[in-house]
Structure 1
Amino acid sequence: MSTPDAPQAPEEQLDVGPDPAIEPTRVQSYIYVKPGTFEADRHFYPRVLNAQLHPLVRFFLALSNDRIINRYCHLNPRVSPETLADILNTEPRHFRWSGADLLHVTTEAGRRHMVVVETNSCPSGQKSMPSFEEHDDQLGYRKNLERAFMPLLRGRRLPPGELAVIYDKNPMESSGYAAAMADLFQEPVHLVEFPDVSQRKPGEGSDAEEPRCRFVNGVLEIRDAGDNWVPIRCAFRYVTQRPWNRLPIQTKTVILNPIISCLAGGRNKMVAAKAYDFYNGTLMGTGLGIRTPETMWDVSKREIPLWVQRLGGHAVIKIPYSNAGQGVYTITSKEELDAFMAADYPYERFIVQSLIGNAQWSSQTRAGRLYHVGTIPNKKGNIFVADLRVMVCAGPGGFRPLVIYARRARSPLMSKLGEYSSWDMLGTNLSIKREGGGWDSDTARLLLMDRKDFNLIGVGIDELIEAYIQTVLSTVAIDQMAQRLINKKGALRTKLFRSLNDDDALIAEILG
């Protein structure tokens, strides 16, 4: 056992940094976080600490939903302001905290818009956001807890117990939420790693044989530094890698986000695509809709070459249940397709989407070609693909934007294929999975919303407004799907879920 004056952290926690002020009883992947211990340099990237939020982004974040509605409807007169107001003022039942990844694209005719690539439950981003209020280091962390988490507890019958933050990656943000939660509740918080040990090699990882989390009659219990099992009344979750194989759908412990938000689309691209489609059907006639690449779902492996051919030889193939940039394959040549087809995969069904690339080599779809607007050219004249992450949270007052940042690809977007791989030109995710376990992040490609980076991204306030609205629409679509998938007793409608996502390998993970 480690002593408070000489804490020892596993490799995955080194970027959090030791902090004697927390006075943790720390053993392996467990920290006991006390109130008054939030320190900004532990929960933000170093370059974010000295960054100044761009004035345009600051102005956007200060806009009320009413002003956003007025502006958006002025530019899109076919949109019903009443419908948009109802949507932005929605309090989701399950999916209260989300982040969408969007691409800024244009048509061959020059019409620009934001396209949703995916929507994430329990998204990262706090550590990449310059502070809105320079005197308030906790702003984003605390705002999410105040707006989305704490109202969820009101009027709920909670089991006796304490507080926890559980995570499987990103200890920098997980510890930030734990420290902010300790201050808000004025009581200690258990910060506990809950890894997906099924993916580890034999003998890999210190907690492989001694898990720190378990569920007993629906109550989350964590094993503390003294090896005592402590019941938890409510928990904030940053478990993102196949969370359904560790977290039950029904729990007495209140958890944000609940696991149904992942199964309904927050970590399940297959069901998300259908949720978007169903929700767009209800929005017909309002002028609103979720914009996505053309998507084919429930595709078996042997069908994939046919769909790639249908899209003109350029496509994106996705394993529907992966995240953090894993399980996404860009196809722009026969060699890339052959390499994909030659590999083995744990699941039976895939998603095939139209590829958004350069104007010279994007997928041909029913709606024509889309291609990346990209960043402002650098001094060498190179344009890079960049996506935009918009994180939102929602509570009794509806939705509000929380975090915005961008990520660029490794290599410039070229008019001809061959000089760089298609993934290096199009892939923007910063997460890197280490061979020995754990995650790193390629922060050199991170674009902040500060005075320096924001000007390179090539978006203005109207694009930020559209990105926010698209994020809210996709979040509401997934929340509505989650409501359909849960019966009155709070259990999963298994037959309905299987009809939407008939993948035996996934069902086996969910049902244990």
Structure 2
Amino acid sequence: MIVSQNDFEPTDHWYPKALNATIHPMVKFFFNLDRDLIVTRYCHLHPTVSSDKLREILNYRCKYFQWGGADLLNVTSSGGKRQMVVIENNSCPSGQKSMPLLDDNDEQGSYRLMVERTFKPYIKKIKDVKGDLAVVYDKNEIEVFGYAKVIADVMKEPVHCVTFHKDDPDPKVFFEDGIMYVKSDDDKKLIPIRAAFRYLTQKPWNRLPLNTKTKILNPTIVCLAGGRNKMVAAKAYDIFNAELKPFGLKINIPETIWDVRKEEIPLWVNKLGGQAVIKVPYSNAGQGVYTIINEKELDDFMKLEFDYDLFIIQSLIGNSNWSSITSSGKLYHVGMIPNLKNETYIADVRLMVSSTKKGILPLVAYARRAKAPLKDRIDGGSDSWEMLGTNLSYKEKDGSWGSDAKRLLLMDRRDFNKLGLGLDDLIEAYIQTVLSTVAIDKMAKTLINTKGVFKYDLFKSLNNDQSLLDEIKIH
């Protein structure tokens, strides 16, 4: 499908709930905060942090990871130390349809902000490839077409919007000599693409080559380096944390054990006190994540069959009465403000950022709550995912995707107050998102040599899962 200029209709690209929402004044203030003020405030609250190093990181310009979105939990320790913990950072994240306008006079909102300050500069210097622009996607049409229409407006040319599913028997997208081509609507013409905005979330490495002449945002290497690969992300965070330690900075993550084979999982769950989170490292959108709080949930997990050989296990963050026991003690959810029934729900925060000439800047924020309130006590019949799972995406029986928007919490005047967050929490979320983004970008740079070639052997040493390695499309 070809998208033309002047075709953007706001009602098509936001949830109805978000379309007429008014941004919360504190959130608007945060999004307009001067960078130096952020550094000064953060270092005032964290005296051991180097202001020069923090400023350097916030000004970092990503080479590969141009656009990401971290999922964060607002947690506290038994001693009352609050922090924002990174659960994962996603390449091509969703969120635009959930973000109220920062400026009521700008109807394209942060869609346009993303395209003007990140996508346009990223594709500006293309010389080798002649062709059109495209958006390729496998889900989330509300946002995908929003981006396509804004790109058409900003770049002043038509944009091809094309599906590219992982199991498509007759794909509309293919590569030849490193150049992306898309089929015309009547399948009679092959159109070369000089640059593509990519919204592929399901195993993008199995159809989007690592080495392409067509400029792609984000390139596939970002997904393998941690944007869609929780195994390598955990190692990227660990490596970057070693670099950050002398400067008082750290990516806050749950205690993580990687390269775990299925038969070893019960041993590690037991070590964490019987509560843990098991993750299939290469899944996303809430798929492949298993929270374990009792024997039944562990037994149910062990009966499942998987395509991959290796898993990661993380400490579970639950209630103050039941969370994983780690070397640094227990962490538990701060949770939302209790409702009229005196129930406390947990929620995560998604903070989306993009790389610009001024560094990594915040773009979108929203939150998602769990289906059921957090219980003080658990037993053998408790369902942990109902209390701890926050992702809105779910897969239909026909393979299509749906979204449980009633659990969406906006950064507006009504919902934001329920989250129990303050300005310093938003600043902390932003800094944690930037740190995790930089870690993944640095890992991506490590995995590509000076000639632009993927270091297969190095990647294999980091992630020796043959099922995954067999999927990777290098050329």
Shift, 1:187, TM fit: 0.6
Counterpart secondary structure, 1:285: helix
Kept in 1: contact 2:76–2:331 (CA 8 A) = yes
Q: Does structure 1 residue 218 correspond to structure 2 residue 218? A: no
Shift, 1:378, TM fit: 0.2
Counterpart secondary structure, 1:510: coil
Structure 1, 134-143 or 259-268: larger mean CA deviation: 134-143
Q: Does structure 1 residue 340 correspond to structure 2 residue 301? A: yes
User: Within 2, Cα distance between the matches of 1:503 and 1:420?
Assistant: 33
Query: Which of 402, 416, 432 is matched with 1:440 structurally?
Result: 402
Percent identity, please.
Answer: 56
Shift, 1:84, TM fit: 0.5
User: Within 2, Cα distance between the matches of 1:356 and 1:278?
Assistant: 23
- Letter in structure 2 aligned against 1:272: A
- Letter in structure 2 aligned against 1:133: D
Shift, 1:154, TM fit: 2.9
User: Within 1, Cα distance between the matches of 2:34 and 2:203?
Assistant: 36
Shift, 1:492, TM fit: 1.0
User: Within 2, Cα distance between the matches of 1:179 and 1:511?
Assistant: 30
Alignment partner, residue 173 of structure 1: 143
Q: Does structure 1 residue 397 correspond to structure 2 residue 362? A: no
Kept in 1: contact 2:126–2:194 (CA 8 A) = no
- State the Cα RMSD in Å: 0.9
Query: Which of 58, 62, 65 is matched with 1:95 structurally?
Result: 65
Deviations 1:135-194 (A, max 9, x none): 112121111111221111233324110010010000000000000000001110001111
Structure 1 runs not aligned, ≥5 long:
1-30, 198-207
- Letter in structure 2 aligned against 1:365: T
Query: Which of 429, 450, 455 is matched with 2:391 structurally?
Result: 429
Deviations 1:221-247 (A, max 9, x none): 111112111110001000011000010
Kept in 2: contact 1:158–1:234 (CA 8 A) = no
Kept in 1: contact 2:74–2:85 (CA 8 A) = yes
User: Within 2, Cα distance between the matches of 1:259 and 1:157?
Assistant: 21
- Letter in structure 1 aligned against 2:39: I
Q: Does structure 1 residue 254 correspond to structure 2 residue 215? A: yes
Alignment of 1:215-364 (within 5 A): 215-227=175-187, 228-364=189-325
- Letter in structure 2 aligned against 1:464: L
Structure 1, 218-227 or 404-413: larger mean CA deviation: 218-227
Counterpart secondary structure, 1:491: coil
Shift, 1:253, TM fit: 0.6
User: Within 2, Cα distance between the matches of 1:253 and 1:488?
Assistant: 18
Alignment partner, residue 454 of structure 2: 492
Counterpart secondary structure, 1:509: coil
User: Within 2, Cα distance between the matches of 1:192 and 1:424?
Assistant: 35
Deviations 1:442-487 (A, max 9, x none): 0000000000000000100000000000000000000000000001
User: Within 1, Cα distance between the matches of 2:382 and 2:27?
Assistant: 33
Query: Which of 106, 127, 130 is matched with 2:76 structurally?
Result: 106
Alignment partner, residue 189 of structure 1: 159
User: Within 2, Cα distance between the matches of 1:49 and 1:447?
Assistant: 13
User: Within 1, Cα distance between the matches of 2:134 and 2:418?
Assistant: 39
Cα pair distance change 1:158/1:455, threshold 3 Å: farther
Counterpart secondary structure, 2:362: strand
Deviating above 4 A after TM superposition, structure 1's stretches of 4 or more consecutive aligned residues are none
Deviations 1:256-275 (A, max 9, x none): 00000000000000000000
Alignment of 1:24-35 (within 5 A): 31-35=1-5
Kept in 2: contact 1:411–1:420 (CA 8 A) = no
Q: Does structure 1 residue 82 correspond to structure 2 residue 43? A: no
User: Within 2, Cα distance between the matches of 1:34 and 1:435?
Assistant: 34
